[in-house]
Structure 1
Amino acid sequence: MRQSGGISLGFVSDQRVRQLERKLRTKEERIVVLETENSLLHLKLAECQGLIGRSTDEASQLYFVSEKQQNLHKSLPSLVIQELHATIQGLKQDLKNLHSFALERSRDFQHQYKNHLYQVLTAVQKIQLQNEAMQTFQTKAFDLEQSLQEVTERYEKEKRKRRVLHNSLIELRGNIRVHCRIRPLLLFDATPGHSVSHNRHKKLSEKVAYAADDETVLVKCSRPGHASINKLFQFERVYSATESQDAVFADVAPLLTSLLDGYNVCIMAYGQTGSGKTHTMFGPLSGDNFIFSTEDGPELGIIPRATEEVFRLISEKPPGSLWVEVSVVEVYNNEIFDLLAKDSYGTVFGIKREVVTTKEGKSDVPFLTYETVENAAEFLQLVNKGLQLRVKHPTLVHAHSSRSHLIVTLTIAMTVLGDSIGTLWADEESSQKLSKVLSCTFPQQLREDKTTFSSRASSPAHSEPTEKPKHIKTKLQLVDLAGSECVGMSGVTGAALRETSFINRSLSALSDVLGAISEQRSHIPYRNSKLTHLLQDSIGGDAKLLVMLCVSPCQKYLAESLQSLGFGTRARQVQRGQVKKRNPLVSSKSK
């Protein structure tokens, strides 16, 4: 501020000096003009005096005139010069005063200039020091970022190793893998009920379930008049509300390779009504149809993605060495219905079936419809037809609430040589050998009689007796369970109330089975429900089972969320022993 004030005063002084100098020059020019006029008058006077001798009259006249002019000329320049002289003296005095003032202002300006220059130099030095410090901090920050990145990469690497080892331990123990997905807040979460006040509903719609990290669920439990309690639940994987369908399937995909390695695989979605099970398993819903188009690729669920992945893996194997079948059933009111069965006119409708236990102790559904498919599109088309028959009923919690448990089974039948499935595709030579054996066998023949296989080799190199072919079936079960629900919250009555009762009883039976297995009881109550009887091979048998818990984050669903998380915790404690590969079944009719 002082610098700008000093510069402004000096500028005004310079302007005033220039103005006075201009006035001085103007006056001096005026003096020069007047002196020139005076000289001209003297010249005219001399001319007049030279003409006096011409005539007396003219001389007298001229004398009179010249006398008059002379007096006039003598008096006029004298007055003007005096005025000009006085003006010039005044201007000189003003100029002298201004010069003194300008010198004083200049000295003051120089003094202020030096002060401000010193301040600027000091500020520049400080800025340079700060820049050097900033560069030092930036260097340190860059080094810290590099170190953090290295540590993060090491952490992620170690975490992946730990997860692989953990999964291996789970597989050796036969434990059930449990993943948990917390859905985002939805529109119906913010819609108050008829008997709920706005403030009360606002509290009920608050978010209380969070993904603390990718393996931990944090639930804030609070009651009126009591302190809030945080409960933690540990699972193999936890998905936050912002994680996509891609992230969910990325952890599911490794299980699918086990199908072609001879393992059964089951993926089960569990949770309350409206918690996102069907969206996780299928994807977007349009009316009563599920959309399986490539345009909705990012939103596709586990079932369409798993189907695409299975057929991709199959395409890498020798052609004609295996085929795929699909069945779709629902468990509704503790009854099993075949959703791919057709009447005599070819119309698809649900037919009641029964589940039995075979001599080998496996569960089976006689006369269940199996459709052979060649690609993922055919598979999904059949699944969509079955979904048209699935029972749905709107409730206060969910407008498209599923009232039945849906089980989609993809069966892979393969023919192998050797004592175990591990010899299949072991190397290029064995692959070529299998291709030659299967070259004379048609897939249709294999479908018509899956217990008969003829080994035909026309090459001289294979004229000696070949190994007996064996038939192996592995299955992928994709289960979308009906949601558990509170009758008071869902507001169901009549037939829907009866459906809810059967749903809750079947889910309770499922929980009882898991508890019995984890406690290693001598009797496992599989037959207490058609659902547990149907899933017996997956829950306590030889399948790699993944339970996908779906949880709502709202306060008003806190009790149901805790029940689901408790179910997942019990499922993690189940130890079934090491899950084994499917043993090759030698056909008795093979030659």
Structure 2
Amino acid sequence: MRPRRGLDPGSVWAQRLRQLEQRLRTKEERIVVLETENAALHLKLAEYQGLAGRSTKEVLQLYAAHGQQQKLQRSSAVTQLYGEIKRLKQDLKSLRSCALELSKDFQRQSKTSLYKVLKAVQGIQLQNEAMRMFQMKAFDLQQCLQEVTERYEKEKEKRKALHNSLVELRGNIRVHCRIRPLLPFDSAAGHPTSQERQRNPSEEVAYAVDDETVLVKCNRPGHAAINKTFQFERVYSPSESQETVFVDVAPLLTSLLDGYNVCIMAYGQTGSGKTYTMLGPQLEENFAFSTEDESELGIIPRATQEVFRLISEKPPGSYWVEVSVVQVYNNDIFDLLAKDNCGKVFGVKRDVVTTREGRSDVPLLTHETVENASEFLHLVKRGLQLRARHPTLVHAHSSRSHLVVTLTITTITSGDNFGTSWEDEQIHQRLNKEVSCSFPQKTRDNKPTASSRPSSPTQLEATEKLKQVRTRLQLVDLAGSECVGMSGVSGAALRETSFINRSLSALADVLAATAEQRPHVPYRNSKLTHLLQDSVGGDAKLLVMLCISPDQKYLTESMQSLGFGTRARQVQKGQVKKKSFPVQSKAK
């Protein structure tokens, strides 16, 4: 290193020397410290080596001592094992003896159990054989029961067929009875003056024992309790539907197209279900037929549908149907299809007369021609809107008049084949074509037009070979008999009740006179009986549908209705005859 300019070289080197000496002293001090530490470490190493030598001897001594201890332990363990083996041998010996004893006991018990099992198996085999015998006997009895049931059903059908034949030959009136279910208004106090009825407002006393018998429990205050039974051609329990009721009515409609007059009449107390049975709940309340629930339709809409269904199976053009709707109100007959000059329907009073042939007829009565069930139901609905109604304590929609709906079916047929056979359908169709202009073509006034006359000798000859058959289906919804005290009517409604009860009494008198075969039958005592003279006393097939309530508070009225039905069954009118009249031709 060269000394800087301006500095003394001697001082620089002296300073440099001092620095080196300082560093040397530092190194020497460090060397002394390290040597001291090295000596200390050598001392510790010697100490540790001594300790290591001494530990090795101790370890060897400890190992020798442990080996002796292990030998002692092994010898004691062996001794213990020998003892345990000895005890185990003794236990094994005792176990063998116990096993032998158990084996002997098991053999004895197994023999006993096997004997019991064999005995039980033998018993089960005997029971199985007995069970098979019982099963065979049960199968035989079941077959016998099935055969007896089938024979019973056949005999029942034969008996019913024979009974119907007897009714057909004797001309008796068919009487069916329908028991309505208990309704909410039955639980109300129907008689404000009777505390006893208020305490027991709803008690069922009328029951359907079977499909031909009604049982009535007569339990009146101050009288001994007795049970009375009534027999009818058919009895319907409260659970049976509208369809079930109509199934027994449908065969009469076939007779209608075979040339017989038919009348179906509902009789009973107010609120007993007559209008529901004949029309259904729709017309009973709001004069509207509903197709949403066809199961609730009554006899009138169902019968109409069935009639047009039967007509559809016949040769086309050989039938036409006319409808009339009347009500008997306060012993007057009102035409419910009559129209004024403006075409508005209003009830017109008509009269009933007896023709020279002894038949009842209503002159100027409106007859509307219909082609299907829908048109018919429309006319019935229109007529029902004019029917007299008045609410009472017994029924909120009580009918105050007798409703008579009549379907007149006119048939054109050849020869005497009507009602017996339609096999030669092609001949009928040919005749229908030849005399098509001879069929009654009606105007709005229901009068034959000039075009209905035969226009050629061939058509005239064909017309002379044809026969015209006119049959009637009368569907009657009678007003209900009622007790004035229970119904709570007054004023005009009381007068209506008086006429209703008098007309129903006149109907009962007609049936009694007919049943007793009196020389004079009082048909003219009431406009109702006069109007229904051909059905009640004539040669029509008559079905009376009795409607009764099962409630205790209507017991008197129910007994009266059942008595009316019993008297109606006793009526013998003679064998019903077919209707057959020659076609009236204006060309002759």
**Shorter-chain TM-score range:** 0.7 to 0.9
Change (3 A) 1:79 1:437: same
Kindly indicate whether residue 83 of structure 2 is the aligned counterpart of residue 83 of structure 1.
Answer: no
State the distance in 2 between where 1:122 and 1:457 align: 104
Further displaced range: 426-435 or 387-396: 426-435
Contact 2:172–2:572 (CA<8 Å) still a contact in 1? yes
Further displaced range: 492-501 or 191-200: 191-200
State the distance in 2 between where 1:173 and 1:339 align: 36
Kindly indicate whether residue 223 of structure 2 is the aligned counterpart of residue 223 of structure 1.
Answer: no
Counterpart residue number, 2:483: 486
The TM-score with structure 2 as length reference comes to: 0.80
CA shift for structure 1 position 256: 1.1
Mapping 1:347-362, distance limit 5 Å: 347-362=344-359
Paired AA for residue 87 in structure 2: G
Secondary structure at 1:448's aligned position in 2?
A: coil
* Alpha-carbon displacement from aligned partner over 1:395-449 (angstroms, at most 9, x marks no partner): 2222222111110000112334447856884734642453233334465259532
Counterpart residue number, 2:235: 238
Paired AA for residue 355 in structure 2: T
CA shift for structure 1 position 236: 1.6
CA shift for structure 1 position 569: 0.9
State the distance in 1 between where 2:126 and 2:418 align: 73
CA shift for structure 1 position 260: 2.2
Contact 1:437–1:456 (CA<8 Å) still a contact in 2? no
Secondary structure at 2:215's aligned position in 1?
A: strand
CA shift for structure 1 position 540: 0.5
Q: Identity over aligned residues, as a percent?
A: 70
Correspondence for 2:305 among 308, 327, 333 = 308
Kindly indicate whether residue 288 of structure 2 is the aligned counterpart of residue 271 of structure 1.
Answer: no
Kindly indicate whether residue 448 of structure 2 is the aligned counterpart of residue 449 of structure 1.
Answer: yes
State the distance in 1 between where 2:67 and 2:409 align: 142
Further displaced range: 429-438 or 370-379: 429-438
Counterpart residue number, 1:165: 162
CA shift for structure 1 position 253: 1.3
Kindly indicate whether residue 251 of structure 2 is the aligned counterpart of residue 250 of structure 1.
Answer: no
Counterpart residue number, 2:509: 512
Counterpart residue number, 1:25: none
CA shift for structure 1 position 160: 2.2
Mapping 1:156-555, distance limit 5 Å: 156-193=153-190, 195=192, 205-224=202-221, 226-285=223-282, 288-290=285-287, 292-418=289-415, 421=418, 425=422, 427-428=424-425, 430-441=427-438, 444-445=441-442, 448-449=447-448, 454-455=453-454, 467=464, 469-555=466-552
Contact 2:328–2:401 (CA<8 Å) still a contact in 1? yes
State the distance in 2 between where 1:494 and 1:334 align: 17
Secondary structure at 2:441's aligned position in 1?
A: helix
* Alpha-carbon displacement from aligned partner over 1:155-179 (angstroms, at most 9, x marks no partner): 2222222222222222222211111
Secondary structure at 1:402's aligned position in 2?
A: coil
State the distance in 1 between where 2:537 and 2:66 align: 145
Kindly indicate whether residue 563 of structure 2 is the aligned counterpart of residue 566 of structure 1.
Answer: yes
Paired AA for residue 473 in structure 1: R
The TM-score with structure 1 as length reference comes to: 0.80
Change (3 A) 1:452 1:164: farther
Counterpart residue number, 1:13: none
State the distance in 1 between where 2:405 and 2:535 align: 13
CA shift for structure 1 position 388: 1.6
* Alpha-carbon displacement from aligned partner over 1:556-587 (angstroms, at most 9, x marks no partner): 22211111111011111111222222240452
CA shift for structure 1 position 328: 0.8
State the distance in 2 between where 1:410 and 1:64 align: 139
Change (3 A) 1:574 1:535: same
Counterpart residue number, 1:135: 132
RMSD: 3.4
Change (3 A) 1:68 1:197: farther
CA shift for structure 1 position 89: 2.7
Residue-pair matches, total = 529
Q: Which runs of 5+ in 2 are unaligned?
A: 1-57
Contact 2:511–2:567 (CA<8 Å) still a contact in 1? yes
Change (3 A) 1:136 1:422: same
State the distance in 2 between where 1:67 and 1:174 align: 139
Contact 1:517–1:524 (CA<8 Å) still a contact in 2? yes
Q: Which runs of 5+ in 1 are unaligned?
A: 1-60
* Alpha-carbon displacement from aligned partner over 1:164-201 (angstroms, at most 9, x marks no partner): 22222222222111111222222223334475899855
* Alpha-carbon displacement from aligned partner over 1:501-525 (angstroms, at most 9, x marks no partner): 2111111110011111111112211
Contact 2:264–2:542 (CA<8 Å) still a contact in 1? yes
Paired AA for residue 302 in structure 2: R
Counterpart residue number, 1:589: 586
CA shift for structure 1 position 547: 0.7
Contact 1:284–1:291 (CA<8 Å) still a contact in 2? no
